[in-house]
A and B are shown apart, each in its own frame.
Chain A
Amino acid sequence: MRSSWFRSARSPRHTAATLVSALALTALAACGTSSSADNDGAGGGSSDPSAPLDPQTKVTLTIDCMPPAAKKAELKEWKADVAAFNKKYPNITIDGKSTPGQCEEPARFTAALKAKSQPDVFYTYFTDLQQVLDNGGAADITAYVTDKTVPALGDIDPNVLGVLKQGGKLYGLPTSNYRMGLLINRKLFTQAGLDPNNPPTTWEGVRSAAKAIAALGYGVAGYGDYSAANTGGWHYTAAMYGLGGDIVSADGTKAAFNTALGKQIVSNLHAMRWDDNSMGKTQLLKWGDLQKQMATDKLGMFLAAPDDITYMVQQLGANYADFGMGPIPGGKATLFGGNDYMIKKGSSPDKIKAAIAWLNFKTLTPGKGQFEYARSKTDGLPVGLPQPAFFTGASKTQDDALKAASATMPVENFKAFMDNPVPGKAEPPKAQEIYKVLDNVMSGVLTSESADADKLLSTAETQVNQVLANG
């Protein structure tokens, strides 16, 4: 909605359009189809949830996140995977649903959940579980996911599976996982006389490297950070985890960031922004802004997930060879996140089994589906990024070897990140609401030289306590 400034014809229409769009979502949600159990599993089904699906069972599955036509290589691989899967399960019909942008757009996703119109196998972010359960959207698949149905189950990082559980019940299977680290521009590191193979691992090191990079001049910033659209709070959380701190107390009822560690983060940012002038003048940045700066060699470092590199290469025309990653400064813990698939509540047992069989084939078997790196290389897709990262043990070893054998980028650039694994830690409860409050801490310190760290943290603490108390 925009202000009218007396434009009687135009602005109210904008206002109305936005309101109607938002409200129409509600209306559509209310008119949505009701959840109903699909009972198209016919013949051959077993009543034992832990038994794998009989290959002769007839099932039709609608599945989110089929690559759109614009992504030719990815779509070709999807179709090839469906064909390969159908060799073993000839009676399972995979009805892929594609979306032109991101696989999950929050507004559309929420509307679909409310209307119970999500596909049988639907794509979610790790942080969506509570919302899905609040809307009665996902089936409990605990009894269906076993070593028989998902042979690599024992090698999936328990922290990752833990995010998809509630009350001891499993509601999803992961397809991807990222861990935050320190993304660097190797070109600028080299120009500034720094070693790009050894990114800094402490905030003192980051400050020192940022100063050296900013000294190159021409508007180059050494270090960048977000402070808008909730991404500032997200990064503050990542930095806090890196130092071993937390955002909320263990019981989730109180803010836990107004501590010496919290102040250390704020003070360090203040020093880099105002004393060293190594963070550039333009602030209030949000996701996408720092990537643009780094892709054009105007930024030396920022906290990021590995797939930011793919974004910079595929969308912004950068080169894989110019980037590297190190572990998050502090290295005590790192924020992780990712995506998974859930199965619609009310699906028949055969449908759940068929969905798990597909997910196992497509997203959880080293060497198959998304992990068929040799094929990805042939198709011109990137191979070598340090994600998805949810395997441990033998599966990880096998996956790393396959990835290295078909890498399309210099994987040694990510050695510092890979060789120093940092334990993953999930986002705090009410993450977005807390991030919004913490945005103020980040924007405060990055836009005001006279920012008072104690006051910023104390105000944010009061507000987060209120957010948590609101329930």
Chain B
Amino acid sequence: MRFLLDDEQREFARSLDGMLTAADTPGAARAWAAGDTTPGRALWGRLADAGVFALAVPERHDGLGPLPVELAVAFTELGRHAVPGPLVETVAAAAFLDRLDDAAASARLPQIASGKVLVSLCVPEAGSPYALDADTADAVLVVEGDTVRLADTAGPVQPSADPARRLARPLGGAVLAQGPAVTAAAAHACEVAALVTAAQSLGLGRALLERTVEYVKQRTQFGVAIGSFQAVKHRLADTLIALEFAQPLLHSAALALAEGADHAAAEVAAAKVTAGEAAYAAARTALQLHGAVGYTEELDLALWIRKARPLRDAWGTPAACRARVLAS
């Protein structure tokens, strides 16, 4: 029993963090929100070079995985830097295609691994009728019941509370596959999506906490740093506690998924609700402790604050996750 990330996993996180810090990720997120996906796609290519998407793709399809623990590590960093795009959906689509059949997989998985294609995935039964970034993705998969189709068109984009998330209801399209294998593959893909969304939430929460801690050390009122006030300290302590106890749930869920354990669904659900709630609470705290400037669009903090609630509810609302925890 060694329930700690190993040196290689930690180094992987550090290198992604360094790359995303250097890459002006907030700028890419703002451009993405404004409809210019060029910087985001460039970032996507660099993430692919770092091996992020290959982690979701098995070796026989030119990938490195599937490696859920490493995916959780990577997506924590993607969340920390608020990277835009259908990241979760692409990784979940890879899991779906891998389980579906070899013909569908071998046609697309190598391209996902190499970062050449962005895929969106929509499973209305898992919660949302909208596909993320369907207008930008190179392919949009829609699973309804036991049928999956490759959408013809994205449908009109509808703005999300997080402008970097572009939502649409994909229309039309040819049936790609049908039958119980589709249902089973979609269930697995939804678990992968929930896991990496939880990881993104955790990273998002950590970024919000880090930025807020820095801010309260500098911002003074009544002649002292506001970070010396007990009311401020306690709120940040609670933020840290929530994040620290979400992390082992995330890593345990990733291990359960890697092993294909029976309890994986309950573990993923537990991680999803806990990380999602922790990140949303971190966003509330960040806004409150930044004061009025936290309530503005111009501060980059807004990129994280506005993502917290949609991530909390995507791929498994808290209520759905809690029900799932007790279903096992």
Real binding pair = no
Q: Which B residues lie at the A interface, using CB under 8 A?
A: none
Q: Which A residues lie at the B interface, using CB under 8 A?
A: none
